[in-house]
Structure 1
Amino acid sequence: MFKLASLACALFSAGISAAPVVLSDVKGYGFDNQRQLQQFSVLVFDDESGKVLSRGDAAVAAQYPAAKRLSANGKTLLPGLIDGHGHVLGLGQNLAQAELRGSSSEQDAVARVAAFAAANKDAPWIIGRGWNQVLWPTNQFPTSALLDEAINDKPVYLERVDAHAGWANSKALALAGITKDSIDPPGGEIVRDSKGNPTGVLIDNAMLLVEQHIPSPDAAAKARALNAAFAHLLALGITSVHEAGVDTDTLRLYQQLAAEQKLPMRIYPMLSARDPQLPQWLNAGIVDDPTDYLDIRSVKIYGDGALGSRGAALIEPYSDQPSQKGLLVTQPDQLTQIMQLTINAGFQTNVHAIGDLANRLVLDRFEQLVPEDKREASRHRVEHAQIVSPKDIPRFAKLHVLPAMQAVHATSDKNMAGDRLGVARLRGAYAWRSFIDQGSIIVGGSDFPVELANAFHGIHASVTRQSQDNQPVGGWLPEQKLSLTEALRSFTVDAAYGAFQENSMGTLAPGSWADFILVDRDIYNIPAEQLWRVDVEQTYVNGKQVFAK
């Protein structure tokens, strides 16, 4: 550990009050109030208030003769990273489940589940996540058959990597009462074989048929999961997360942690539109936390499914499945009602929309429901904005709707998106450059644990449009690449803008929170293909070290 880590740790652990602190010999990058990149070699912050006081060069350091002095020994310093769309509780729970991400086949996935079950003999259910049939040789959904061979004495339920499909063994299907005669719920599908029998795969709203039978974790288990997620995220340099869909129990747990000053990072929770107590939260009004650890002013609404499970709602049928157009998990009339409810309450309305039909339906409602003079100030969002009709992209700018996009979805989906959509529809798919060029502000994120919670993977994908093995050569749909500064903005000041927080975080400008990270290489002086390899060595929140490698 280099000099800064050891000295800072000693000072802070000793509880010595030492405002201000002059941190010098940094390769610092931040932004000004116009979102323009700024470089500096000195950062001055107050470790009592947690605010940045100044930044610049040696002349700035000289203005604080009585300050503590620390040296970063030439390390690169960046604003704390903000993930604009993640699932903190889901990440923490995922860390304690069967990990199926990267499984090479259905057989490999089952083997992993069997090994997990053998190591967790007392678990009443075997839960896992991360399978992706698109990466398997068969390219087909799995079935219950192999799962039943491996585990037939207890229920097994495994979420697809995007959480828009579930894979169950026969024991779980039986507990849910799913048979040949079961009816598909609205916005969901029970996948069946040629004889009409359930195969074990459930898509979108059909997943609830099984999930309602899985024992709910108690508050203590949720707290353990959150703490595991916090540690994981801080080690990746993520100092703030916009949590996309939080129920009442989880939100109350966040409030308890915040009241006890036990939140080590900033959370911007979106109230789940599915929560029965949503009207009560809306009636209580916006919670504007002066410390920005827990600002409550947004709602997550669910529009359609995901592309990989053919649940994304499309205007025209899937190119590789002409009988399907996807699923609307919230029906149009209900979508209008919920959006109207949240907009009228003055809350930011953030709607999950992946397919071009879902995006159009959401934009139509924003146009109808939000008065023109309130559109820019409201900062309503479309979560994902993944496949948009080219003629609908300009509507985001016209309506001042923010696209909250996850760059890693493009590099994860590139192997199947063309099959699902065909060439023509790709013109409006993962179209980051088109959004930026028209003046839209992209709220960057990862959608963890759907993807890995590493913002540098997203920055790399934004700049290269390539996988981590540099494929395809030149990038996939390379005309949609972003510059490094645009990509960094999406995970810092632009993500902060998506939470009404751009004046307090994401820039390291004077007056903002001293949330910053030190990394192992200068991102502006390495080949773009190395961006995903950037390693975080230290993380600071409010001027206090919360992680050191």
Structure 2
Amino acid sequence: MLVGGRVHSPTAPDATAMAITDGTVVWLGRDEVGRALHPDAEVVDLAGAWVAPAFVDAHVHATSAGLLLTGLDLTGCRSLPELLAAVRAAEGPVVWGHGWDETRWPENRPPTRAELDEAAGGAAVYLSRVDVHSALASTALVDRAPAARAADGWSPDGPLSRAAHHHVRAAAKDAIPAARRRAAQDAFLRHAASRGIASVHECAGPDISSRDDLADLLSAAHGPEVVGYWGGTEPVDLPVRGLAGDLFVDGALGSRTAALRSPYADADTSGALYLTAGEIAEHLVACTRAGLQGGFHVIGDAAMAAVVEGFERAAAVVGAPALAARRHRLEHVEMVDAEQAAKLGAWGVVASVQPLFDREWGGPSGMYAQRLGVERGTALNPFARLASAGLVLAFGSDAPVTDVDPWAAIRAAVRHRTDGHGISPRAAFNAHTRGGWRAAGVDDGVTGTLQPGAPATYAVWEVGELEVTAPDSRVQRWSTDPRSGVPGLPSLDDTPTCLRTVLRGRTIYERQ
């Protein structure tokens, strides 16, 4: 029994104690009542800490994110020379790096292959852009993937995208020893648990990882629960939740591969459409009939139009109720209008979205506006529109694209850079907790909350003040008397510290 804290529960808003038996919450209430009802319980004194449902990160790439933690982190590079200096200092015959973003550099361009080769000194170098939809590759790495030179997206001197990128990425991953790959996964899972995350959705696939990579991750015996998705149209012999996740309809805006109806504002291209509406419909029909969750990566407005048409065609074949029952999911959903959102909501679609995208690239002067122009660039990630249309919102990081930082994601969703696109703190918190479980098909009404009958999956936080809804409905701060109001969430200006993360009664992280 946990006592002496503040418990975030929909059924016991003034609870200061919580009792757990065999990994399940069995009671919530006041300390003195809990001690009387459970005299033989093992008692844990929370010393005023706040207990809440653990977070779910609904979109990750664990190995790549772990390699960022253990390898060459380029997210802090602020210029082209700084990136080249980081490559020169790197060690090993294969250098794996991630996170460069030329739109934030004074040069406003990535290095040429000749510049990269000079810095690499003969090493095979793979450096993914921050959106992971294009990469710099040294000549030594390209020589390991000769098919890249004849593939779509090949550049003799610049970043590689599309199929060429997939070829060099596969060569770079094949060069990483299995032990190093597993160590990267373990590092990522430990890091996620330290952020109060009890479950992650791994968006694997034939173009971005491998079957063996996913198998290793699914067999991890510690840390957050891994829900696996395979981004392919063909089944994989692993216990995945569905053929969804990063099954690409298009690419990304930063790499100019997201499929647009009108060309990019800063380049003569409209991106790349990888799947047609017919192919999308065929996949949805197959998944629905097989009882599987299907889904796609979709960002650009042309890609979204193809997805909506694909759902319409699928509904005509299997029926809208059967389609909705499968809870098919879409990743990112950045460019979507009100009519499309309404249709997706009627089909029971899950929107797996990343609020930190807006924090990093939104607003009138961000990367989105550079790529699309201000009018289009400030219309992205309309969370309020998606929520009001009835889509299930599930928050994630797309790590390593953005940080694994749930509280920052909640702040970004509430303080959206475009007026009218943000949602309330409570809705954002639910999207990062219960929404993640619902996105994976767990919709029993209790998982992702703390109430009797719910799995004891929670995090313990050191927080400053909690926002409190007082009896007269005014928002106040947590006072010395918790009975003065109903405690809500930490202030958006606070940065809570995770003290412990628990998955079904088992501690997976404890702060030392």
> Structure 2-normalised TM-score?
0.86
SS in 2 for 1:365: helix
Is 1:500 aligned to 2:441, yes or no? yes
Measure, in 1, the Cα distance between the counterparts of 2:278 and 2:390: 31
Change over 3 Å in CA distance of 1:358–1:61 after alignment to 2: farther
- Residue type of the alignment partner of 1:310: R
Change over 3 Å in CA distance of 1:298–1:177 after alignment to 2: closer
SS in 2 for 1:510: coil
Name the counterpart of 2:79.
105
Give the alignment of 1:300-379 within 5 angstroms.
300=245, 301-321=247-267, 323-330=268-275, 333-370=278-315, 371-379=319-327
2:109 aligned to which of 132, 140, 146? 140
Name the counterpart of 1:200.
158
Name the counterpart of 2:204.
245
Measure, in 2, the Cα distance between the counterparts of 1:51 and 1:44: 9
Is 1:511 aligned to 2:453, yes or no? yes
Number of residue pairs aligned between Structure 1 and Structure 2: 476
Measure, in 2, the Cα distance between the counterparts of 1:433 and 1:509: 27
SS in 2 for 1:302: coil
Q: Shift in Å at residue 496 of structure 1? A: 1.1
Tell me if structure 1 keeps the 8 A contact 2:250–2:274.
Answer: yes
Moved more, 136-145 or 356-365: 136-145
Q: Shift in Å at residue 344 of structure 1? A: 2.8
Measure, in 2, the Cα distance between the counterparts of 1:144 and 1:482: 43
Measure, in 2, the Cα distance between the counterparts of 1:375 and 1:391: 19
> Structure 1-normalised TM-score?
0.81
- Residue type of the alignment partner of 2:4: D
Measure, in 2, the Cα distance between the counterparts of 1:332 and 1:399: 16
Measure, in 2, the Cα distance between the counterparts of 1:89 and 1:341: 29
Measure, in 2, the Cα distance between the counterparts of 1:358 and 1:397: 18
Measure, in 1, the Cα distance between the counterparts of 2:65 and 2:414: 26
1:172 aligned to which of 141, 148, 154? 141
Change over 3 Å in CA distance of 1:421–1:395 after alignment to 2: farther
Q: Shift in Å at residue 362 of structure 1? A: 1.4
1:398 aligned to which of 339, 346, 352? 346
Name the counterpart of 1:388.
336
SS in 2 for 1:90: helix
1:460 aligned to which of 411, 420, 423? 411
Q: Shift in Å at residue 332 of structure 1? A: 5.0
- Residue type of the alignment partner of 2:393: I
Give the alignment of 1:63-102 within 5 angstroms.
63-102=37-76
2:129 aligned to which of 146, 160, 164? 160
Name the counterpart of 1:25.
4
Measure, in 2, the Cα distance between the counterparts of 1:527 and 1:138: 41
Q: Shift in Å at residue 228 of structure 1? A: 1.3
Q: Deviations over 1:12-35 (max 9, x none)?
A: xxxxxxxxxx11121111346xxx
- Residue type of the alignment partner of 1:190: W
Measure, in 2, the Cα distance between the counterparts of 1:318 and 1:358: 14
Q: Deviations over 1:270-305 (max 9, x none)?
A: 02317xxx4354xx9xx5xxxxxxx63453322111
Q: Deviations over 1:76-130 (max 9, x none)?
A: 11111111111122222222221100210111111112112xxx2xx22211111
CA RMSD of aligned residues (A): 2.4
2:235 aligned to which of 272, 279, 292? 279
Name the counterpart of 2:485.
none
Name the counterpart of 1:125.
94
- Residue type of the alignment partner of 1:250: D
Is 1:432 aligned to 2:432, yes or no? no
2:359 aligned to which of 407, 411, 429? 411
Q: Shift in Å at residue 320 of structure 1? A: 2.3
- Residue type of the alignment partner of 1:26: G
